[in-house]
Structure 1
Amino acid sequence: ECNSSCGTASALKVHMRTHSGEKPYKCTECDYRCTDAGALKIHIRKHSAEKPYKCSECDYSCAYVSNLKRHMRIHSGEKPEKCSGGDYQCTTTAGLKLHM
């Protein structure tokens, strides 16, 4: 049983697709399919040169906000990934896995 609640009928419709497996939105460039138009719009950036997220500190730009957040750690010095066996810290999970 699902305990999810949605604020609108359209949000509920999209949510119900996670249970039915329906993925009506398809990328024209590859086999990617998804449950909502917003996800498809974000996915399509993989196939284009669109990089709407810009760093305010340098010339870096990217297609996804998550990449910009990760990049900004370079400027802030934030190192949220910590080794449980020592003092090692780094900016990404991938970096921590390499350390291990």
Structure 2
Amino acid sequence: MDENVDIKVKEEIEVYEEPVFRQDVEVTVKEEWGEGTHIGEKPYQCNQCNKAFSSNSGLIIHQRIHTGEKPYQCNHCGKAFSQKGHLKTHEDTHTGKKPYQCNRCYKTFVSINHLVIHQRIHTGEKPYQCNQCNKAFSWKTGF
């Protein structure tokens, strides 16, 4: 039975991977190796907030926070996004597509992030803690 559980988990992980992110990771790794950086190094630094990144593409995406640039636009409603993956998730709201399903209660979600947050209901995980009252929360917006 343990083998079935392992296979089930592996299948879910493969189903939940989004090609956009997988592509970004491959590009980032190639950039890091091609430019001679080592794992953990972050040579690209934002000149506005000093946050550091391991790839130039990561820095460019981050800088859109400061510039407000949103180059990816929804063809259905015109809403714009700073990242291609965010647009893809948004477009699924127009089609009603919810490809991510909880394996405990079978509720479906438009994004893997929403599924992960939802699953904390079942696990009881509360990774965010208030530093003033020490109360723990399942998601960042809880406090």
**TM-score, normalization: structure 1?**
0.72
Give the total of aligned pairs: 91
Q: Does 1:38 align with 2:84?
A: no
Structure 1 residue 86: Cα displacement: 2.9
Instruction: Tell me, in whole angstroms, the C-alpha distance in 2 between the residues paired with 1:52 and 1:32.
Output: 22
**TM-score, normalization: structure 2?**
0.53
SS at match of 1:50: coil
In the alignment, what sits opposite 1:12?
33
Instruction: Tell me, in whole angstroms, the C-alpha distance in 2 between the residues paired with 1:11 and 1:93.
Output: 26
Contact 2:32 2:38 in 1 (8 A): no
Answer 1 or 2: higher relative contact order, Cα 8 Å, separation at least 6.
Answer: 1
CA RMSD of aligned residues (A): 2.6
Structure richer in helix, relative to its length: 2
Instruction: Tell me, in whole angstroms, the C-alpha distance in 1 between the residues paired with 2:89 and 2:31.
Output: 32
Instruction: Tell me, in whole angstroms, the C-alpha distance in 2 between the residues paired with 1:60 and 1:17.
Output: 37
Question: Which structure 1 residue ranges, 5 or more long, are not aligned?
Answer: 1-5
1:57 counterpart (76, 96, 108): 76
In the alignment, what sits opposite 1:92?
111
Instruction: Tell me, in whole angstroms, the C-alpha distance in 1 between the residues paired with 2:45 and 2:68.
Output: 19
Contact 2:32 2:55 in 1 (8 A): no
Question: Which structure 2 residue ranges, 5 or more long, are not aligned?
Answer: 1-26, 122-143
Q: Equivalent pairs: percent with the same residue?
A: 30
Structure 1 residue 55: Cα displacement: 0.2
Structure 1 residue 81: Cα displacement: 1.5
CA distance change for structure 1 residues 24 and 90 in 2, over 3 Å: closer, same or farther?
closer
Structure 1 residue 29: Cα displacement: 1.2
In the alignment, what sits opposite 1:3?
none
